[in-house]
Structure formats: C-alpha cells, structure tokens
Structure 1
C-alpha cells in the first residue's frame, strides 16, 4: 500500500498557488508599468512572454484540483500533480526570462 508523505499534498498545492500568485503579480507589473506608461503600447512581440505566462497561470491553478482529487491506493494523482507543477513552473520561468530578454535587455519601457 503506497501512501505519499504527510504534507505532500499541502506542499504541492501551496507551491503551485504561491507561484501562480507571483506570476499574476508579474503580469500586473508588466501590464501597468512599462507598456502603458508614456507613448509605448503593446506590441506583437510581447506575446512571447504574455502567452506562456497565461498558460503557466492556468496550469498552476489546476494543480490543487488534481492533487486533492480522490486518492486511491496509488500515487498516480500526486505524480500527475507534480508533473503539472513542473510544467507550470517551466512555462513561468520561460515567461520571465523572455520578458527580461526582450524588454530589460533593450531598455524597459523605452520610447520608440
């Protein structure tokens, strides 16, 4: 009879929701500071980090629903929740790195 460790469900859920909260704050920071301050509007290349950030947010919010689903005798649901957390974290890291590569390296909120 396989059982996951005590606190494993709480750890996976809190880490996913914590990262989703930070990602939502990141998207709010990007949306309200650099893009619309001054004369610069959204551009098509901004989708390089907005789409992965949106996907990551949706995937990370899905983790607690999978982790707290009815558990049988196996670790299958927790393994799936951990993989979903891994993919959501990967999308979030890609979104932040794409933001820094695109905007910060060329001057954040630079006027064109």
Structure 2
C-alpha cells in the first residue's frame, strides 16, 4: 500500500451522505497515502495538499463508519476516516478480537452507516 494510491474502501466510505461529504470526495483525486501506522498495520495516514478546498466538517472521525464482516458474516471490525483542518488525514481499521488485520478489507465486506 506504499504506492500512494487511495484505497477503494475510502471511496466507499465517502460515498455516504453527511455534511461535508461532497467536499471530502472532491479531495480524493489529490489525496495521497503517506504512510501506514505500523509495519503490519492496514491503517493509513493521508495527505491532502494545500490549495485543495477544505470541507466544512469538524476535526475527528467523519459520521460515516464502515462495519466490516468476515467471509462468514461475523463482525470483524470497523473503518474510520479521520479529518483534520477540513482535510482527509487518516483511514483507521480497528478490529475486534485477537487477530489483527494486515490489509484493508474487500469493499464488499463493508457496510457504511451514517450516525
């Protein structure tokens, strides 16, 4: 994932409708993955260059969460998109249980809900 490309799952999470979503979607074309959170972590830091319009959204986690199930339909974890200063800043994969994921889930295993 060190190629700087935006994971498709980020596009799916931002497809939900919430205040500021369209402005965040507009940032995707210029957003780059800067680094993973750890050597085996699927969570990623993101960078949106200066000059890209900010979203009118509070810092922190966007109101759209991706619930991840495994192949057997069991709840596995959730995906959170972080925003800082109106810009995409991170994609976090938090998991339940003992086995940490080493890659982002298939978008087909993710259900996006807006809270």
Q: TM-score range by the shorter chain?
A: under 0.3
Structure whose CA Rg is larger = 1
TM-score, normalization by structure 1: 0.28
Q: Which of the two has greater strand per residue?
A: 2
TM-score, normalization by structure 2: 0.27
Q: Which of the two has greater helix per residue?
A: 1
Higher relative contact order (CA 8 A, sep 6+): 1
